Amino acid sequence: MTIFTPNPDLALTLVTVGVLLVCAEFLRPGKVLPGVAGSVAILIGITGFSRPVPGGAILVVLALALLLGAATRSRWQSMRFAAVPLMPAGIIWMNPQIQLTTAIVTMVPLSLVLSFLSSTAARARRNKGFSC
């Protein structure tokens, strides 16, 4: 039973907005509203995807792994260029009903934001002083 069965474009947009709101919660800890609203948007958006194709999910996970690898390894910086097109391709393969423009408009900015946040976190961790 699904709570919310919109078109897949709306579901993808809800999941993307939810992830961005959860990222906003990580940037400003203590603010409860972005995290709660993001979690609710992700849960509602996920119910809108019907029978995702596992190959597309594997591409999305691969893109996230490349973004994380580019953030943690200095030699892997060029992997970001491979990860950005993998996100919309994986989403379209995961659910063929999603429009190409919706996948590009939501996933490319999301992958760029995640890339920026992960590289910032890795840089902060590297530059952390060990003074107590």
pLDDT at 37: 92
| Distance, CA of 72 to CA of 67 (rounded, Å) | 9
Q: Give 4's contacts (C-beta < 8 A, 6+ positions apart).
A: 11, 44, 47, 48
What's the token pair of residue 38? 């993001």
Boundaries of every domain in the chain: 1-50, 52-118
pLDDT at 83: 84
Q: Give 84's contacts (C-beta < 8 A, 6+ positions apart).
A: 63, 108, 111, 112, 115
Written as tens digits, the pLDDT of the chain (132 aa) is 455 556 788 888 888 899 889 888 877 878 888 889 998 998 888 887 777 788 888 998 898 888 878 777 767 777 878 888 888 898 889 888 888 898 889 888 888 888 788 777 777 777 776 555
> What pTM value is reported for the model?
0.75
